[in-house]
Structure 1
Amino acid sequence: MQRIHISAYRRRYIKDVSKGINIDNTLLFLCVLGFLLGRAIIIDNLGPFGISYFIYMCKHKKYKIPVFFSIALGIILSHEGSDALRYIITLVIVHLISPIISKEEDSIIKIATIGFIISTFTGIMGAFVKGIYTYDILISLFEGIAVFVLVYIYSFGIPLILKRSMRRAISNEEIIALSIIIGLCIMGVSNVNLFEISLKNVLSLLIIIMISYKGGAALGATIGITIGLITTMDTASSPIYIGIYGFSGLLGGLFNKVNKFVTLIGFIIGWSIVIIYTRGSYELVLSLREVFIASLVFLLISEEKLKYLERFTKGILGNEESALNYIDRVKEIINCRLRDIQSAYFEIATTFEKVREKDKILDQRDVASVIDMINSDVCSKCCMKKSCWESKFNHTYNLFVKMLNILEEEGRIDESLVPKDFKRCCINEREVIKSVNHYFDLFMLDYRWNKKLSETRKLVSNQIKSISNSIGEVAEELNEEINFDLEMENNIIVELDKENIKVDKICFLRREGDNFEINIEKNACYGGSLCEEKLIPAVSRAVGRRLSSYKVGCRSISDRCSIRLVNSQEYVAGTHVSSLSKDGNIVSGDNYTYMEIWDGKYMVALSDGMGKGEKAFEESSLTIEILEKMMESKINEEISIDTINNMLILKSSDEIFSTVDLSIIDLKDGSVESVKMGACPSFIKRAKGGVEVISSSSLPVGIISEIKIDRDNRRVKEGDFIIMVSDGIVDAGKDKQLGENWLYTVIEKIDKTNPAEISKIILDEALKLVDGNPQDDMTVMVTKIWRN
């Protein structure tokens, strides 16, 4: 019975084990790994690598038995009798207590400690059998510590192998652990030679070449030093090979951006230099066979397989793609947030529009209130109240309603408009008329303020919609393809360093198409000439294109300087202004601006405020200030003008308005967009002769809430002039019955090419027409276009 019970137990055990073993690629890989680690030996036949590997693999029941036999086979083939027996006994002990190790909740430190105890114990027991020495005890302690450390290392590397298809990101610890495991596996083939060619050396070289190609110089040198240290630690020439592998990986990685062949050439050159310097030319000839085989295998590996390796190399170094993915996620979050804010503002604006507005001075509820107040003031004191309000309430109430309807139609009521029925019934007609007119005036005042408030609500609603649209445009801009070119940034830093120009920060942004932008921050040079003379030419050489600054020179605040460089534009614009105030006033009602804004565009704007003096100056300066800020912020000109219009209407209860004459010149292609709001005609004087007029029929801003913007699109070429004037110039010909034609004729006859001279000639001609006594502020803006 006892024999039958034991036999049944064995059959059930074998059946359970066979069920748990499922042969797949992962199992085969882990078994090969166990075999190689079992074979790996360092000084004095020490081989803790397979033992520590099995201790960790006890956590994975599915692979435990096959890995046990693969490690045991490796130990038997590489160790001598007594050492092999000791390690096999250690494996058996670990297997017997594996149910304790395999608990999921156990920490890796606990498992490593168990491994340390078992390995140290079996080592000391083996020393007792052979004859104990202090050296043997120390070696046993060293081996136990090695097992402890290796179990911890395997806890990072092995899970990466088991879940390699599921992993998308890899930590630094995992990459380092994997590198050590690879090095230890290579040690497992240390004494395998084919035709005097070391398989260990070929594998070492192949791995270093592949890592250098996909990981670059830093990782190539790191993996070279790691493999050189691990695979040669049992030889006297270990330091030499550490240097050879490390320098070869470094030189190969330097050329990884070119292609596989150049990376390989760099590796071979690095290998040859150090071999010749340390070992001599004869050693170089012997080792070239191994380098050749490793190189051939590397070239035969497809790019697709090598790309898989790239996931691991990028995990440790971090890379441009990871940074860009992070930037894309941030952009997506900001974009969603901006879209939410845009939607919220739009809903607020819509709510403002839906607020109920009074369409009559007196609605039904107001009529009842007025009648009640008249009754309280006049009728309550009348001796005939009983015959009117008590006995004939409905009749009397309807008479009052009829009289209020007449009042609302006429605006005022007197005795001639009072209904005859009312006259026959009421003995206090005059007092009632007086009271009715008084209360109607109060409701009229309330109605007017209600209308004003309603108009203001509409303006606020329009303004909130404009803000919503502006936020939407910012969100749309975030969707543009923006790339940070880290390699180009490094090239610029190198070129600036050659010129001894110190900078603190460089950002190279690539946008959609061929557009890019370079932002540089540095200490101010205080002279303003460093950027133009040295910095821009140096950056242009690095980029390989002619560049220009976003604004003339750099923007310097305190001791810091910020400069933005863009691809040099095809055209350049320059503006000159001539102006004169009415009656010699210091303050002019005409305000203007000209500046580069964004994306290679140049803005010229002129505003003429209503009236003269300070009031006109305030209106036009407000218009120009808002326009400058909004255009600099990349806000659409239509939204900008709509905002100005709302601001002027809301600014005061008085009617204030100003004209807007805006020209936006695209310096990349020479297109000009003119936007006019109540402005005078502007002119384009062609370099080859002829004058074109750009006119408008729209109202100035600040008059009505719903504005109509006049737009005009033209093209300019080198030598053309864009001429903008205020109404003081155009109206100078009124008294002489010349209208606007006089200005066209003057501009056509001008043969000067300097914008300053042209503006002065136009102003002088206007002054002649008014006999030197201007009736309004006069301003002439002349912008010349020429090729860059």
Structure 2
Amino acid sequence: MSQRILNHPSMEKRTGVGDSLQRFKDSATNRLTKVRSWMRTVLFQWGLFIYLVGFLLGRAMILSEMLPFVVPFFAVIWMTKREHAKLAFIALILGTMSVNLSVAWFTVSALLVYALIQRTSELVLKKNTKAVFIHVFLSVWAVRFGYLTATEGMVSEYTWMISTAEASLSAVVTMIFFQSIPLLMERKRQRSYRNEEIICLMIFLASIMIGTIGWVVYGMAVESILARYVLLLAAFVGGAAIGSTVGVVTGLILSLANVASLYQMSLLAFSGLLGGLLREGKKMGVGVGLLIGTVLISMYGDSQTLVMTSIYETLVAISLFLLTPKSFIEHLSRYVPGTVEHSQEQQQYMRKVRDITAQKVEQFSDLFHTLSESFTAMEKPKKTDFDTKDMDVFLSRVTEHTCQTCFKKEKCWANKFEETYQYMEDLMQECQDEGGVRQGRLYHDFSNHCVKPDKVIQAIKDELKSYEASQQLQNQLTESRRLVADQLRGVSQVMDDFAKEIQREKTTHQKQEEQIGEAIADAGVDIDQVEIYQLDAGNIDIEITLPKNDLNESEKIVAPLLSSILEETIVVKHTEPSASPYGHDRVSFGSAKQFVVKTGVANAAKGGGWVSGDSYSTLPINAGKYALAISDGMGNGERAHIESSETLQLLRNVLQSGIEETVAIKSINSVLSLRSEDEIFSTLDLTMIDLQDASAKFLKVGSTPSFIKRGKQVKMVESSNLPIGMLHEFDVDVVNEQLKAGDLLILMSDGVYEGPKHIENDEVWMKRIIQELKTEDPQEVADVIMERVIRERGGHIVDDMTVMVAKVDHNLPKWASIPTPQYAIAK
């Protein structure tokens, strides 16, 4: 039925129309991209932008005689775009000539003097950007001072003041242009503009607007229209703060060029503020804000004609603003901090960085996995017996030293090959099984067959020893390859998990944050901010900023409220107090585990000494697990303590890295066995408890049994591995047990487990001690067992002794949840 529908003519027609529309969109997008690329080439690579800006800045005059923008623009182009310096020179001269021919020589002279000073400086000091401001100051001051002196025929205070003022202003403008011009001309990585850069950019644009002074269209000043258009863009993109700032800067620059335009600063600043406040009304709201500001400020004028002209200029600017493409405004918004487009751009950039990082980590994970597979492929199964090929090689080596030099070689191996081969195989088998050839029937029969039986038997023994040594070395190599493969596989898994963790995005939970904030506020707790990082069941992560909670409101009120809202037990994970007594604390809340573990330890050194060869550790693992470990170093004293403590330190670091427990123990064993040639061994008793379901893994390496006490029942957990570091390779026995709330888990070293000499069965003896316990407190249990064992031995501590007791219980919150059904939210 579905196939008939898809094959229907109407569906085919619709599909064809859809494909045509998609092709049209793709074609239009490609054409638009080409047009943008062509425009950028014409403006920046061919220099049209420099020509237009240079022409307008050449026209920009302050107080009808000062030209503070000419030399700075030329200096910046000289330092950043040297290939367009000649074009900028011509454009500035043409701009000055379009305003006043009598002062055009000033532009020519100032530019030539600057070029001479800059060129001379570069020959001496290389290319020094810091000296450009000094060069601009000197060239403008010298030319202006010479012009005024020649015009007035003398040197006056006015000459000094004007020359110094124009030169100083030119040096400052140079600094501003160095900040703003590269923002427009250089195509760097997308980034946000700082407030200083935005202000410098607006000063640059306002300076260009000064160049349009005197241009009038139907009685309306072009500079006023442009200033209000730029103000509308700034207010719409950046809001009231950016809008008012741009209004003040633009109005100030325009008023410097024409004192009559001083009111422009008030008009633009007030209009930028209103437009930014009304930007929630989109473009029309910002336009209404500008219109209101124009009307209010213009009413202070005396001429009704000027009021209407100002309103017309505003209406034209609003019209241009409404016609501005949305794509241009969105592109502009990406550079302004605080905008949605800027946030999206930053998120996109961070996502790109995150994906690249995750990709690199995944590549390393694949590399380690491939290496692991290559080591696994190199493994060869252990040989338990000779095969035909091995037998032939073995016998060839034996006969090389015996039969090859015997005069009866032809008789034995040519005429009686089968019989001789069988004798040699039987002799080799007996040597392998018994360590030699007994004076039995096989020996007598072979003696009758061979003239040198003892020499042959000795050669078989020697070759058999070499073969066994070679075979043992080969097996060790195979085991080492397997260990390396396991370790590489473990590292690969850790890196793969890390890559997945990197790729997890922080989901926005704005609605949930508002609901949580309202619920806490209704409960009477003042909070400043709620940030939700994760809402996954069992792994909730929330951070709340609230005032100093001297009464522990975060635990008594906020956590119970969150427990009710999220329908899961929430506890305080961490509190970051404020340094100021009137500041705010940052409190981190997270999901509570289903079970908790309470521990107790009793420890004693041999003979009552200060240093015990036993070491113990409790370690919460990031994956919601809890580790208990005891290590017993060989012997007693400081050396044994160092060995056992280093074993636990290695274990702690490897487990926290995320590597699986079995691989971690094998890796530690490999390190300890290869680290020193001394026979230094240590046992390891490791228990991993999952705090979500109370399942436990027991990993024992040469350690004594552990015990689980549930009520009156006592269960023993044991394995039969050799101590860690004794062999290069071994298999770790993993025993899985399901614990329940109220269970006592008891780990101990051999100094505690091994009873007095009159005790025949240590297991029964220790079970009886545990069954007779009257307390369930972990610390009391550890102390009672230690005291009982020492008393049974007549008060003597004959070996290092360590008892570690852990009690598993349900995690009961300290405070009950506060019902807030109206605020229940979905995770």
TM-score range, shorter chain: 0.5 to 0.7
SS in 2 for 1:107: helix
2:401 aligned partner: 373
CA drift at 1:605? 0.8
The answer to whether structure 1 residue 336 and structure 2 residue 359 are counterparts is yes
2:180–2:201 CA contact under 8 A, matched in 1: yes
**Corresponding position of 1:489:** none
Question: C-alpha displacement at 1:110, in angstroms?
Answer: 0.8
2:490 counterpart of 1:466: yes
Matched to 1:662, the amino acid is: M
Distance 1:107 1:119, change over 3 A: same
Cα–Cα, structure 1 residues 464 and 120, in superposed 2: closer, same or farther, change >3 Å? closer
Pair 1:626–1:390, CA change in 2 (3 A): same
Q: Which residue of 2 aligns with 1:680?
A: 706
- Matched residue, 2:804: 779
Please state whether the residue corresponding to 1:592 is helix, strand or coil.
strand
Pick the aligned partner of 2:602 from 568, 579, 590. 579
Aligned equivalents of 1:251, 1:745: Cα separation in 2: 82
Residue in structure 2 matched with residue 606 of structure 1 by the alignment: 629
The Cα of 1:293 is off from its aligned counterpart by: 7.5
Counterpart of 1:457 in structure 2 is 481
Residue 413 (structure 1) aligned with residue 437 (structure 2): yes
Deviation sequence 1:511-558 (CA, Å, 0-9, x none) = 6858559899xxxxxxxxxx99899989x99xx99999978999xxxx
2:412 and 2:502 mapped to 1: Cα distance? 74
**Counterpart of 1:427 in 2: which secondary structure?**
coil
Cα separation, 2, equivalents of 1:220 and 1:324: 25
Contact map agreement 1:759 1:781 (CA 8 A) in 2: no
C-alpha deviations, 1:613-643, integer Å up to 9, x for none? 4698677545532331123334444543453
Q: Does 2:453 correspond to 1:429?
A: yes
Counterparts in 2 of 1:86-165, with a 5 A limit? Answer: 107-119=83-95
Distance 1:301 1:394, change over 3 A: same
Contact kept? 1:619, 1:658, Cα under 8 Å? no
Q: In structure 2, do the counterparts of structure 1 residues 774 and 406 end up closer, same or farther at CA, with 3 Å as the change threshold?
A: farther
* Conserved? CA contact 1:331–1:478, under 8 Å: yes
Question: Aligned ranges for residues 620-769 of structure 1 at < 5 Å?
Answer: 621-637=645-661, 639-644=663-668, 657-665=683-691, 671-678=693-700, 680-682=706-708, 705-707=730-732, 709-711=734-736, 723-727=744-748, 750=775, 755-757=778-780, 759-760=782-783
> More displaced, 108-117 or 327-336?
327-336
Shift of residue 393 of structure 1?
Answer: 4.4
Deviation by residue 1:150-175 (Cα, 9 ceiling, x = unmatched): 9xx999999999999x9977999999
CA distance in 2, matches of 1:268, 1:221: 12
Structure 2: how far apart are the matches of 1:25 and 1:206?
A: 22
**Which amino acid in 2 is paired with 1:111?**
L
Q: Which runs of 5+ in 2 are unaligned?
A: 1-34, 43-48, 72-80, 105-146, 153-158, 510-530, 564-569, 578-584, 815-827
1: CA distance, partners of 2:313 / 2:807: 73
SS state at 1:481 partner: coil
Q: Distance in 2 between matches of 1:408 and 1:567?
A: 72
2:394 equivalent to 1:394? no
Report the residue type matching 2:803 in the other structure: M
CA RMSD of aligned residues (A): 7.0
1:349 aligns with 372
* CA distance in structure 2 between the aligned counterparts of 1:401 and 1:654, rounded to whole angstroms: 47
Amino acid aligned to 2:804: T
Q: 1:639 to 1:226 in 2, by over 3 A?
A: farther
Displacement of 1:725: 0.8
Q: Distance in 2 between matches of 1:127 and 1:654?
A: 94
Pick from 238, 250, 254 the counterpart of residue 215 of structure 1: 238
- Cα shift at 1:435: 3.4
Q: CA deviation at 1:418?
A: 3.5
2 CA distance for matches of 1:440 and 1:41?
Answer: 102
Q: Which moved more, 1:428-437 or 1:217-226?
A: 217-226
Pair 1:637–1:187, CA change in 2 (3 A):
farther
With over 3 angstroms needed to count, the CA separation of the structure-2 counterparts of 1:302 and 1:427, relative to structure 1, is closer
1:591-632 per-position Cα deviation (integer Å, ceiling 9, x unaligned): 432244437x46241335498746986775455323311233
Give yes or no for contact 1:756–1:782 (8 Å, CA) kept in 2: no
Deviation at 1:341, TM superposition (A): 2.9
Contact 1:677 1:699 in 2 (8 A): no
Counterpart of 2:422 in structure 1: which amino acid? K
Question: Within 2, Cα distance between the matches of 1:295 and 1:629?
Answer: 66
Deviation at 1:568, TM superposition (A): 4.6
Label 1:365 to 1:612 Cα distance change in 2 as closer, same or farther (>3 A): same
Q: TM-score, normalised by structure 1?
A: 0.57
Cα deviation for residue 398 of structure 1 reads 5.6
Q: % of aligned pairs identical? A: 17
Q: Secondary structure at the match of 1:430?
A: helix
Offset at residue 409 of structure 1 (A): 2.7
Using the size of structure 2 for normalisation, the TM-score is 0.55
The SS at the match of 2:630 is strand
Aligned pairs (5 A) from 1:471-482: 471-481=495-505
Alpha-carbon spacing, 1:638–1:453, altered in 2? closer, same or farther (3 Å): closer
Alpha-carbon displacement from aligned partner over 1:3-40 (angstroms, at most 9, x marks no partner)? xxxxxxxxxxxxxxxxxx9xx9999xx9xx99x989x9
Does the 8 Å contact 1:189/1:200 carry over to 2? Answer: yes
Cα displacement (A) at 1:372: 0.9
Deviation sequence 1:449-486 (CA, Å, 0-9, x none): 3333332332233223323333333333322225999x
What amino acid is aligned across from residue 467 of structure 1 in structure 2?
A: V
Question: In 1, distance between residues paired with 2:772 and 2:314?
Answer: 84
Counterpart-to-counterpart distance in 2, 1:125 and 1:294 = 33
**Alignment CA distance shift 1:444-1:482 (3 Å):** same
Equivalent pair of 2:633/2:682 in contact (CA under 8 Å):
yes
AA in 1 matched with 2:685: T
> Does the residue aligned with 2:476 lie in a helix, a strand or coil?
helix
SS in 2 for 1:413: coil
Q: What secondary structure does 2:706 align onto? A: coil
Measured in 2, the distance between the counterparts of 1:260 and 1:581 equals: 77
2:77 is matched with: none
Query: Aligned-pair distance for 1:228?
Result: 1.6
User: For each residue in 1:273-332, what CA deviation from the matched residue of structure 2 results, as whole angstroms up to 9, or x when unmatched?
Assistant: xx99x979999xx89989997999889999877534413536999965555444444433
Contact (CA 8 Å) 2:375, 2:481: kept in 1 or not? Answer: yes
Higher RCO (C-alpha under 8 Å, 6+ residues apart)? 2
SS across alignment from 1:778? strand
Alignment of 1:502-521 (within 5 A): 510=533
Are the aligned partners of 1:108 and 1:155 in contact in 2 as well (CA < 8 Å)?
A: no
Aligned residues: 626
Deviation string for 1:346-382 (max 9, x for gaps)?
333333331556735654333211221234xxx74xx
Q: Does 1:404 align with 2:428?
A: no
Residue of structure 2 equivalent to 1:447: 471
